[in-house]
Structure 1
Amino acid sequence: MSVVNGGAKKPLPKPIPDRIREAREARGLTPEDFSELLDVSRQAVAQFETGQSSPSGEVMAKIIGVTAQPPLFFVTPRERARQGTPFWRSLKRMEQHHRRRITRRLEWARDIAAYVDRFIELPNVNLPNIEFNAECASEEDIERAAEQLRDHWKLGRVRIRNLAAVLEENGVILVHESVECPDMDAVSCWQGGRPFILSSAEVQSGPRATFNLAHELGHILLHAGVEVSSETLGQIEKQANRFAGAFLLPRETFSQEVLGTSVSYFKSLKQRWGVAIAAMAYRCKDLKIFNENQFSYLMRQMNAQRIRKIEPLDDAFPVEKPSLLAESLRMIVEKGVQTREQVEAALTLNLSDVEGLCGVPKGFLDLRVVSFVPRQR
């Protein structure tokens, strides 16, 4: 089909196959789900996504409606930045369509960060160069890596009050949004030379959320070149957990404050350090402050009090939320550097997706709301 323009026929743009697939995956749809919603065959979906055929205008309208992306999304080539492998906590439990959906969200976060960086200089990535061999690293290697990072960031050996802010100050891009996936608390990866962490808004415990950030920081620092597979996953997860404990609870100071083994005493430590009781118990075991019997005693106390999943004081610490992308976007729009229309045209994304990834209130970018006024009888 073509459009007549001043006597000359101008061909209509064709949707880019990769972008159809990207839009589908970003909504967590399998090819089978997609085919049912579009009322086409599974083979037709495969042909749309490989470029063997293009959807008709009627089907394209359905694709736009189902994926909630603007028409411009499908005809704009996307610059592909180099992306490292995301560090998933579980390759077996987490369904593939969830992994693909969240991977796409991370890619879009990278696009938004690159756009913002055109107008506002984002913090440089500030991580020490640590030699670490995941295959043969010792526990002492992990302890030293955590201490080296604290020294590099001049954090001393005291409690870190706002880890999210510390990460953003040092060039890590954070996204905090609902993931609708019970098997994922957080995920991280390197993209375009910068680390990204996406954390789940479903996590309501401040201490748990902080530990998740520290865990992902361990992956970013120690495992950038590691190939994640079912064979390596268990080892690198243990290393990231050990790093998180070492980073949040430094051995030279935390170990001096463990003066009891009761849940009551550990509640007081939780108030002081902002770390979950269970995580502190494992830290005590790692540092050999507790022997196996002492560790088991504390775990039994927690089981008896039914506080293993939801601990006391969980709600006393608010979940630390990122602010870098939100404040940068606000500044760009409110200072008139870019209009909302320019943001939409540059990113070619549904504005609700941009708002969610940046953490700005819903409706901040999309002001085209039609007021509903009931007819007076």
Structure 2
Amino acid sequence: MRSGIKGFQSLRLKQLRSNASMTQAELADLVQCAKGNISKWEQGKSSPEANSFQRICDAFNVPGSWLMEEPIASPETQPSFFRTNTSTTATARALANIRLDWAEEIAYKLQESLEFPSINLPEYTGDFKDLADYEIEDLATECRQRWNIGQAPIGNLLNLMESNGVVATRGKLGFTKMDGVSRWSQVDDYPYVFLCMDKANGFRTRFDAAHELGHIILHKAVSQAGYKKHYKLLETQAHRFASALLLPASAFVRDIHYPTMETFLALKPKWKTSVAAMIRRCQDLEVISEQTALRLWKARSARGWTTREPLDDTLEPEEPKLLQRSIKMLVENNILDKNTLRQVLGLPIQYAEELCNLPQGYFDLDDSSKVVELKLRAEAKQRMKPQQQKGNGKVISLHRS
């Protein structure tokens, strides 16, 4: 009886198929095998033979070594916080989780040779169910103080997050109702954020980033069970944090002399937040009455701004730079060449480029230099604790900008 490829990682195949939105039957046709084989391979009950294995590699443009390498990702017991529309499908959530898993793996491998910025974030350690609004406001203020930005409008929020220890990435999923997802990694103890770019609205994605930062700061200790049970409360708290961070109370209120639609629209370029976010912030701070708020919401709806507001096209979505800069530093400093790096990253190259915010075809560009090959830590396969993984093989420091 043939045993198939030894060491084949079933989760890798499931990730690839789910990421491609393929059914098991569709993958079976592609690989030229029975549908039942795909099911057995994904469950780890058997492994593909050499011919089928190579067809999988060719179909998804991945090296065989990656299919035999144990995935590096946080366990499923670690909750991922989704900023989504309530009608978002489980498929969209699963796809976003896969992209976040891959980003986590990319970053972990890059840290074999690079030192990422240290984490500089406040942390709430109490019971989230007891978290008061004023405490959320205080944590947002503390975050601004740590980052030395005072009460001024934030320029590039995403790059500021990266400079203070958040690993951020983005990509398109094909689901416009998915906004973002975040989690604390149990692999390297860094916070990770994935932003969905299907809407490509710079104002919206800034708020999404701030919302995910809220989860990172407020909800590190939340369990998977707690997340499922108290989802609405956690979302409300993250929303309040995002508002407080982007629109600091004292400075923002000084700008609201007359709370009209024209006032909010005029302030939109300054604070880089939507009219809706500013109305909501005024409600949170109780600078307008409920009657005035209702009038403003009705006016916004009457003008057709519920799905898209004026000036939405004037702000380009912020681009993450940390992973992109890491890749380029390794290549430009002759730590490894593009071909070696492509083999080490392993995952489908178009997604490696997207998650690292690299131009399409970056890894296909000619690179004839021969440099030291990057080696994976033995600890990666053993899933050792984050504190046991730090400090090995660091050669380049990514200083804050």
Deviation at 1:39, TM superposition (A): 5.5
Q: Distance in 2 between matches of 1:210 and 1:306?
A: 22
Amino acid at match of 2:16: A
1:131 counterpart (122, 125, 129): 125
Matched residue count: 361
**RCO higher in 1 or 2 (8 Å CA, sep ≥ 6)?**
2
Q: What's the offset of the Cα at 1:249? A: 0.7
1:328: which partner in 2? 326
What does the per-residue CA deviation read over 1:338-368, in whole Å, with 9 as the maximum and x for residues that have no partner?
1112212322223222111101111111237
**3-state secondary structure, aligned to 2:207:** helix
User: Which residue, out of 67, 83, 99, partners 1:105?
Assistant: 99
Letter paired with 2:262 = S
Q: In structure 2, what is the equivalent of residue 165 of structure 1?
A: 159
Higher mean alpha-carbon deviation, 129-138 vs 26-35, is at: 26-35
Structure 1 partner of 2:217: 221
Alignment correspondent of 2:199: 203
The 5-angstrom pairing of residues 21-170 of structure 1 reads 21-31=14-24, 33-35=26-28, 37-38=30-31, 40-81=33-74, 84-90=78-84, 93-170=87-164
Shift of 1:92: 5.7
Q: TM-score, normalised by structure 1?
A: 0.88
For 1:248, the equivalent position in structure 2 comes to: 246
Counterparts of 1:302-321 in structure 2, within 5 Å, are 302-321=300-319
Is 1:19 the counterpart of 2:12 in the alignment? yes
1:148-201 deviations in Å (ceiling 9; x for gaps): 211222221111111011101001111121121122111111113001111122
Q: Specify the code of the residue in structure 1 equivalent to 2:195.
A: S
Q: Considering only CA atoms, is the larger Rg found in Structure 1 or Structure 2?
A: 1
**Post-superposition offset of 1:16:** 2.5
Check whether the contact 1:215–1:240 (CA below 8 A) recurs between aligned residues: yes
Deviation at 1:40, TM superposition (A): 4.7
Distance 1:260 1:232 in 2: 37
Q: 2:357 aligns with which of 349, 359, 366?
A: 359
Structure 1's unaligned 5+ residue stretches are 3-10, 370-377
Deviation string 1:80-131 (CA, Å, 9 cap, x unpaired) is 4457311123496333333222212212111211222222321011112333
The answer as to whether partners of 1:132 and 1:141 remain within 8 angstroms in 2 is no
CA distance in 1, matches of 2:228, 2:110: 36
Helix, strand or coil at the partner of 1:365: helix
The answer to whether the 8 Å contact 1:262/1:298 transfers is yes
Q: Aligned pair in 2 of structure 1 residues 314, 87: CA closer, same or farther (>3 Å)? A: same
Change (3 A) 1:200 1:23: same
Percent of pairs with identical residues: 29
Deviation by residue 1:207-254 (Cα, 9 ceiling, x = unmatched)? 111111100000000011213544311111111111111111111221
Residues 289 and 235 (structure 1), Cα distance of their counterparts in 2 relative to 1, 3 Å cut? same
2:142 is aligned with what amino acid? Answer: Q
- The answer to whether the 8 A contact 1:352-1:366 is kept is no
- Residue 271 of structure 1 aligns with which residue? 269
Code of the aligned partner of 1:75: M
Residues 175 and 201 (structure 1), Cα distance of their counterparts in 2 relative to 1, 3 Å cut: same
Q: CA RMSD in A?
A: 2.4
| Structure 2 runs not aligned, ≥5 long | 368-401
Range that drifts further, 54-63 or 196-205? 54-63
For 1:93, give the aligned amino acid: S
User: Does 2:231 correspond to 1:233?
Assistant: yes
